[in-house]
Amino acid sequence: MKIVQISEPMTLVGGADVSAALFQMAFTRAPRLVAADGGADRALACGAVPEAVIGDCDSISTAARAALPAERLYEVSEQDSTDFEKCLARIDAPLILGVGFSGARLDHQLAVCNALTRAPDQRCVLLGSDDLVFLAPASMLLDLPEGCRVSLFPMGAVEGHSEGLKWPIRGLNFAPDGQIGTSNMATGPVQLSVTAPKLLVIVPLAQLDAVIDGLRQAKAGW
């Protein structure tokens, strides 16, 4: 069941450290706001009030609970999924910009990468302090500048085709325990197509607008 259904981009904030500048970078582009559990505290600290808080509610503080109307808290008690997964399963939006999902906990970062791959119907970009990551759709165009770093990391077996990369990917059999694509480089705008929803794309945070445009123009679905 979808809890949040909107027709415009939204920001999803998690419980990891997030600077005010990074939060605003997402929020100005996606001004609808949802928090994953303890992400409510991060949102309030940045001066924003989430319209919904989704998760098992074991991390949200007593103060944050008191600051929010009870009807905005959606507790999902099952423990077979992370709070990020719970949110992805219950949000219907054309684009999600996620902040507060990277930091000191490497296991949490791996879990969110896994969740991106398991929710291919969502267009979700996760912002970190230096880079951003998203799941490549079947085909997309990224208007990147020459020399921009483009890393491709497979979460499963996948092949693809590229134009505009210094090292083309045609003929490569990507796999997490085999061929990966760290530190490729754009020679200009990049056309990328892949055979399965298994390839994560990582580019510098400065390319957020190019990624947003590319994802919003990409053909929906697989």
Q: What is the pTM of this model?
A: 0.95
The pLDDT tens digits for 168-178 are 999 999 999 99
Give the pLDDT score at 222.
63
What stretches in the chain show pLDDT beneath 50?
Answer: none
Task: Render pLDDT for 68-85 as a digit per residue (tens, 0 to 9).
Answer: 999 999 999 887 899 999
Cα gap 160→94, rounded to integer Å: 24
CATH superfamily, domain 4-129, is: Thiamin pyrophosphokinase, catalytic domain (3.40.50.10240)
State the span(s) of the chain assigned CATH 3.40.50.10240.
4-129, 139-217
Q: How do beta strands 4-5 and 91-92 pair?
A: parallel
- Looking at residue 105, its pLDDT comes to 84
The superfamily (CATH) of domain 139-217 is Thiamin pyrophosphokinase, catalytic domain (3.40.50.10240)
Q: What string of H, E and C letters represents the secondary structure of the chain? A: CCCEECCCCEEEECCCCCCHHHHHHHHCCCEEEEEECCHHHHHHHCCCCCCEEEECCCCCCHHHHHHCCHHHEEECCCCCCCHHHHHHHHEECCCEEEECCCCCCHHHHHHHHHHHHHCCCCCEEEECCCEEEEECCCEEEECCCCCCEEEEEECCCECEEEEEECCCCCCCCECCCCECEEEEEEEEEEEEEECCCCEEEEEEHHHHHHHHHHHHHCCCCC
Neighbours of 195 (CB within 10 A): 14
Residue pointed to by tokens 């507060």: 100
Residue-level pLDDT at 80: 85
